[in-house]
A = this chain, B = another copy of it.
Amino acid sequence: MSTSRRDHLVETALHLFMRDGFHATGIDRVLKESGVAKKTLYNHFSSKDDLIVAALAKRDHDFAAKMRTAIARLTPQQTGDPRMAPVLAFFDGLDEWFRSDSFSGCIFINASAEYPRADCPIHRACEAHKLQVLATIEGLLAGLELPDPAPLARQLALLADGAIAGAHTGGDRAAARHAKDAARRLLASWL
């Protein structure tokens, strides 16, 4: 099947990009790992950058799904004001992610680092992902009935990104829990 070959390629590439980075992962490595021929790759993608964009799109999609399920699963376990529960569950989801063996930062932050030009397609895909996460966080604030949830959502997004940097660059495995406590305080401040 054609789509299966393509999907397998994107999956393998995404895994290697997340683990080792973009420049450090050569095309040949992706091919060897996936068992796909070089011609097949260039039949589906015009260039390595094109493959990278596809991998980021898949990650964006997967991440959104993972976020939804984690929030649905963890929300009932939260204590305190039930209106805060979804947001707090989100940070618990981050905590699980940071503690997983495969964690090596946010691939979108990493991609922006390797492709700093703001106008290149890769960097643009990263920007789009961050907007998508922001929208998800805004959704978590629905129950709070704030006049304008946008600024609070931005602040919570800052905390989330900061936690990722703290966990990856700073090596602080407890970053998500500090962020969760800060989120609780921010929420209280806005209520």
Residues of A within 8 A of B (CB): 19-21, 23-24, 104-106, 108-116, 118, 126-127, 130-131, 151, 154-155, 157-166, 168-172, 175, 178-179, 181-182, 185-186, 188-190
Given A155-B181, A158-B163, A19 contacting B131 (CB threshold 8 A): no
Given A162-B161, A170-B130, A178-B154, A19 contacting B109 (CB threshold 8 A): no
- Report chain B residues within 8 Å CB of A160: 162
Q: When the two chains form their complex, are residues B182 and A155 in contact, meaning their CB atoms are under 8 A apart?
A: yes
- Report chain B residues within 8 Å CB of A178: 151, 154-155, 158
In the complex, A104 Cα to B119 Cα: how many Å? 13
In the complex, A159 Cα to B113 Cα: how many Å? 19
Q: When the two chains form their complex, are residues A168 and B112 in contact, meaning their CB atoms are under 8 A apart?
A: yes
Closest B residue to A134 by beta carbon equals B170
- Report chain B residues within 8 Å CB of A104: 116
Q: When the two chains form their complex, are residues A162 and B171 in contact, meaning their CB atoms are under 8 A apart?
A: no
- Report chain B residues within 8 Å CB of A157: 162, 166, 170
- Report chain B residues within 8 Å CB of A158: 158-159, 162-163, 165-166, 175, 178-179, 182
Partner of A113, one of B113, B155, B188: B113
Given contacts A110-B114, A127-B170, A155-B182, 14 further A-B contacts (CB under 8 A): A105-B112, A106-B169, A108-B169, A110-B116, A114-B114, A118-B171, A126-B169, A127-B171, A130-B169, A151-B181, A154-B178, A157-B170, A158-B182, A185-B186
